[in-house]
Amino acid sequence: MKIVKKFTNPDRKQFMFSVDYQFELLKYLIHSKKSLIYINRLKASYFSLIDHAIIAEVLFKVAKKYKKIPGEVILIDEMGKLLNTKEYVNTVTKEDIPNLKDLIKKLYASELQDEDILESSILKFIAFIELTALNEVSDFTDVDSYESYLNRISSIVKNIKVQQENTKPLTMIADTSTRQLKRKMDPDVCPTPYKQWNRLTNGGGYPKGSIVVFLDKAKAKKTFNLINVARGYLAMKKVVLYIDTENGKYQIMDRMVQSTLNKTKMDLISGDFDKLERRHMRKYKRLKSEFIVQRIIPLHDDANTIEKIIDDLFVEFGLIVNVLVVDYAGKMASISKDKEDFDRISNVYIDLENLAIKKNLDIIISAHHLTREGSKFKETRYEENHIAGSIAIIRNVQVVLGLNSTKEEDENGIQRWEIVVQRDGVPKGRVVFNVDLPRQRMKELTKEAREKYDETMGVYLNELINKAYNSFEDDSKKNSKPKQVNPVADKDKYQKRGGDI
């Protein structure tokens, strides 16, 4: 690795991010109680010396897995395992290992100084490394690349700003002017593509970084709904990354093209609409929106994999992802590599929540399966306990929407979303669409059509849902065990105090 040398700037100030600074940074990460906040933002490759980079890689790996900083013995043991891998076996010699161990001992033995100064400089260090890497790969003779270059710089600076905001406390009185200005200039609410949906929220959309989950049984219309929501965000000039775990990149892309062109699969295969497709894609290009599909390995790849995809899109194409669609999160691995489904799924959603903050995403959208009991409520409305695998995901999501429909609705091409649980909005409500499955197309009902729907089908559905819910309550009471009363040890004493035996 290239070593960063000390140098002085025109003002004769010492270069802050020297090798000595990086050693102190490692000390901060080992000793500070706040280090876990920054570990997810740092990368081992940011460190100039290979010794520092190796220690950083081991430290980050263990900290992300166990959610805590390891002790000296564990770190040395994990380093030994790392050095036996193919990547390092020919890089680090046996003579280097004692030096690495001595360096680790020195990091743990020496006291941390200037903790506040180091903490305030970490994000600047990250920005310096990322901007330096950007300048090294940029071709400044290519005038056409200037806009992309400026967008990348803007993204780096914006991400650092977001990280700084997230690490600082917010005060109600002292920060009044700041909060008012932020509400006007950069509101925290991100509208959805659908008016009906926005009306069900408290602020006309969801807070930035929210997670939305669609709930339905296996092999239903979850992917169909995810594709159409993604198309809605494309029309809002957003860059959408679609992570696929079970369908295939080309299948997802074909279905998106069908949806945008309003054509069947046979129409696409015929080639008769190729010219229309090119014209349509030029329209999206003018909007500066983009739809990217990437396949990941189920139960193997995690949120770190998605983060790398997002970073690669930025480096290679200058694309800043706004909306992340995961089809679907329940099949991902957690960063902590949990084996049990309950812990794995719960931690996957925590990992995605952290990813949304780190990459400044507008929203993350996914889908999840139902329990067998929940599938009985397809025509009415699902409940929280119908979530399969890990009901704990509701702690980390903004809203869960059930994909419901009666037989009559299916026959008439109607798709209904029913709120299962929602934080920042009404507890119950629905969004209704016209659907065309052969064309992979879903369109929100007009205001007039929705009013007519509510006057007829809506009234019937509300009665059906209330009846199903009351029946569910009755079954719960029948199956519940009578409350056990603890025995009284001293009956005479209890009666004297007014107790009723």
Averaged pLDDT, 134-161: 78
The pLDDT of residue 4 = 41
Q: What is the DSSP letter of 474?
A: H
Gyration radius from the chain CA atoms: 27
Locate the domains of the chain by residue range: 19-166, 189-475
pLDDT surpassing 60 at residue 10: no
Burial (CB < 10 A; 0-12, 13-18, 19+), residue 208, is middle
Residue in this structure with the two tokens 């996914």, named with its chain if needed: 366
Q: What is the CATH number of domain 19-166?
A: 1.10.860
Residue 245's Cβ-side half-sphere holds a number of Cα atoms within 13 Å equal to 21
| Residue 331 banded pLDDT, cuts 50, 70, 90 | very high
3-state secondary structure of 201: strand
- Concatenate the DSSP letters of all residues of 437-464 into one string: GGGTEEEEPPHHHHHHHIIIIIHHHHHH
pLDDT in tens, 194-232: 999 999 999 899 999 999 999 998 888 999 999 999 999
Answer yes or no: are the C-beta atoms of 420 and 398 closer than 8 Å: no
425: tokens are 């909005």
- The model's pTM is 0.67
Looking at per-residue pLDDT, the higher value among 471 and 38 belongs to 38
Instruction: Match 């005479």 to its residue by tokens.
Output: 492
Q: What are phi and psi of 113, to 5 degrees?
A: -120, 155
Provide the pLDDT for residue 163: 62
Q: Does residue 491 carry a pLDDT above 90?
A: no
| Residue 5: predicted pLDDT | 39
Please give the C-alpha separations between residue 494 and each of 200, 448, 489, in angstroms, as whole numbers.
Answer: 53, 68, 9
Q: What is the phi/psi pair of residue 404, to 5°?
A: -110, 155
Question: Tokens in use for 117?
Answer: 């100064």
User: Residues 4-8: what's their mean pLDDT?
Assistant: 39
Of 104-118, 156-170, 419-433, which one has max mean pLDDT? 419-433
| Cβ-contact 41, 64 below 8 angstroms | no
Inter-CA distances, 455 with 446, 451, 452, 462, Å? 14, 6, 5, 11
The predicted pLDDT at position 220 comes to 83
The confidence score (pLDDT) of residue 3 equals: 41
Cis peptide bond prior to 328, omega within 30° of 0:
yes
* Per-residue pLDDT at 171 exceeds 90: no
Give the pLDDT confidence score for residue 287 in this predicted structure.
86
- CATH architecture of the domain formed by 189-475: 3-Layer(aba) Sandwich (3.40)
Lowest-pLDDT choice from 43-52, 179-188, 266-275, 361-370: 179-188
Please give the helix or strand (H or E) that residue 151 lies within, else none: helix 146-167
The predicted structure's pLDDT at residue 500? 45
pLDDT at 94 over 90: no
Helix or strand (DSSP H, E) at 399? strand 399-404
CA 114 to CA 100: how far, in whole Å? Answer: 24
Neighbours of 213 (CB within 10 A): 27
Q: What is the DSSP letter of 205?
A: S
What does the pLDDT read at residue 174?
76
